Amino acid sequence: MTVRQAMPLFWRYLAVVATSCLLAFVISTQARASTPALLKAAPIETASADTSAHAYASAGPFTVQVIEETWRDAARGRDVPVRIYAPTADTAPKEKLAVVLFSHGLGGNRAGGKAWGEHWASHGFISVHMQHAGSDESLWRNRKAAEVEGQLKGAMTITNLALRVGDVHYVLDEIERRAKGDAWPLSRADTSRLGMSGHSFGAGTTLAVTGQANPASGGQAGLDKRLKAAIAFSPLARNKKALHKQFGDIKLPFFSITGSLDGEVLNDGTKPSDRELPFKSMAPGDKYLLVFEGGDHMVFGGHALGGRRPKTARDDEIQLDVKAASLAFWNAYLRNDKAALAWLSVNDNRDSLKSVLAANDRFELR
């Protein structure tokens, strides 16, 4: 039996995680960019050559190409729309490129995480952003406002959570297949260096595929060992029982990113501190937590906030620091970049992530 076919009682537990994700649809209404498109990046040195905060936060030296495709998983009879951010063939480095996946929140689409994907690609990564049918924008698009909440709640099912994890396994399979071909950019993919990320419901998806276990049985049904590192934006431990059993077997390097205002969603009772529990319950070793003072659920989605609330200067500060921290993490664990690893130190020295954060931001390492 393949990992994509395994569907034990684990999903019954994971289904409660989806209730933390109702706000994700709010930040997914931006217009889609035309594709393909080119984004011109500033010609600066790469972060591996310059370990200043500016180098990690600024756009990298590579022009970014944006490609939208729909991949067909014939085994499941399911389409998986993807948006790929990658360096253009004429500007990309000659070596194979590490690949990062991104999973959107409930009600989102493949445009989720746009700011992160563009940034990572400008520094030489391939970033593949998935869209999960059944828990995507179809829940609210072209519907009356009164219908939306019911649609969202109705999508929080065992089936949809299982489908999301199946999407990740399938996309990893497809990346491996395409890496053997000659179509840019995945022909240049390094399938030994794969990362996973996601926001809100996508953070729950990330936890599931990196080793979160059923609190009763301890089984890791969704685990995909091809993944080498992960970032979860607004993660959550909704079930507070047996936390170390749930998260203690997540072995790979893992970065949890949240904020002091990243709490309940539509009165679901979530506290900002709940989003720190996965980190605190993981076994020590390459586990990071970054909590931004004043950061709410919306700011970590990785795209324009739109008209849902006024954008603030603090939003810009947080998103710039997220770009820097996430890039350094990928460099450290997908490129074996020792300078990036040192920059992620919790020390207060001049050349470190902690030294550039706001006074009340909190950065921890286990």
Question: What is the DSSP secondary-structure string of 287-334?
Answer: EEEEEEEEEETGGGGSS--TTSS---HHHHHHHHHHHHHHHHHHHHHH
Poorest-pLDDT segment among 78-82, 150-154, 159-163: 150-154
Strand-strand pairing, 37-39 and 189-199:
unpaired
Question: Residue 333 and residue 331: Cα distance in Å, rounded?
Answer: 6
The mean pLDDT of the chain is: 84
Give the pLDDT mean for 251-269: 90
Q: How confident is the model at residue 7 (pLDDT cuts 50, 70, 90)?
A: very low
Q: Is the peptide bond before 61 cis (omega within 30 degrees of 0)?
A: no
Question: Residue 219 and residue 215: Cα distance in Å, rounded?
Answer: 8
Check if the beta carbon of residue 353 is closer than 8 Å to that of residue 361: no
What are the tokens at 185? 């950019």
Q: How confident is the model at residue 297 (pLDDT cuts 50, 70, 90)?
A: very high
Predicted local confidence at residue 148, as pLDDT: 64
* CA-atom Rg of the chain in angstroms: 19
- Residue ranges and CATH numbers for the domains of the chain are 10-365 (3.40.50.1820)
pLDDT at 346 over 90: no
Question: Residue 129 and residue 136: Cα distance in Å, rounded?
Answer: 13
Give how far the C-alpha of residue 283 lies from the chain's centroid of Cα atoms, to the nearest Å: 21
pLDDT at 68 over 80: yes
Contact partners, residue 305, CB within 8 Å, separation at least 6: 27, 298, 299, 311, 315
Q: How confident is the model at residue 82 (pLDDT cuts 50, 70, 90)?
A: very high
**Residue 108 DSSP symbol:** B
Give the pLDDT mean for 91-107: 93
Question: Residue 166 and residue 151: Cα distance in Å, rounded?
Answer: 22
Strand-strand pairing, 362-365 and 254-261:
unpaired
Tally of helices (H runs) and strands (E runs) in the chain: 11, 10
Q: How confident is the model at residue 151 (pLDDT cuts 50, 70, 90)?
A: low
pLDDT at 26 over 90: no
Structure confidence by residue, pLDDT tens digits, 162-205: 899 999 999 999 999 999 999 999 999 999 999 999 999 999 99
> If we measure between CA atoms, which residue out of 197, 128, 143 comes closest to residue 25?
143
Question: Residue 40 and residue 61: Cα distance in Å, rounded?
Answer: 9
Predicted local confidence at residue 277, as pLDDT: 97
In DSSP terms, 82 is beta-bridged to 69, 130
Check if the beta carbon of residue 268 is closer than 8 Å to that of residue 245: no
pLDDT at 294 over 80: yes
Give the pLDDT mean for 5-18: 40
Give the pLDDT mean for 101-110: 89
Q: What is the pTM of this model?
A: 0.86
pLDDT at 46 over 60: no
Predicted local confidence at residue 80, as pLDDT: 97
Question: Residue 238 and residue 275: Cα distance in Å, rounded?
Answer: 9
Predicted local confidence at residue 53, as pLDDT: 65
Predicted local confidence at residue 222, as pLDDT: 93
Give the pLDDT mean for 123-149: 80
Check if the beta carbon of residue 262 is closer than 8 Å to that of residue 289: no
Question: Residue 56 and residue 36: Cα distance in Å, rounded?
Answer: 26
262: number of CA atoms within 13 Å, CB side?
A: 30
Q: How confident is the model at residue 140 (pLDDT cuts 50, 70, 90)?
A: low
pLDDT at 4 over 60: no
Predicted local confidence at residue 175, as pLDDT: 98
Q: Is the peptide bond before 253 cis (omega within 30 degrees of 0)?
A: no
What are the tokens at 240? 């507070």
pLDDT at 39 over 60: no
| Type of residue at 296 | D
Structure confidence by residue, pLDDT tens digits, 213-228: 977 666 888 999 999 9
The percent of residues above 70 in pLDDT, for the chain, comes to: 78
pLDDT at 258 over 90: yes
Check if the beta carbon of residue 140 is closer than 8 Å to that of residue 107: yes
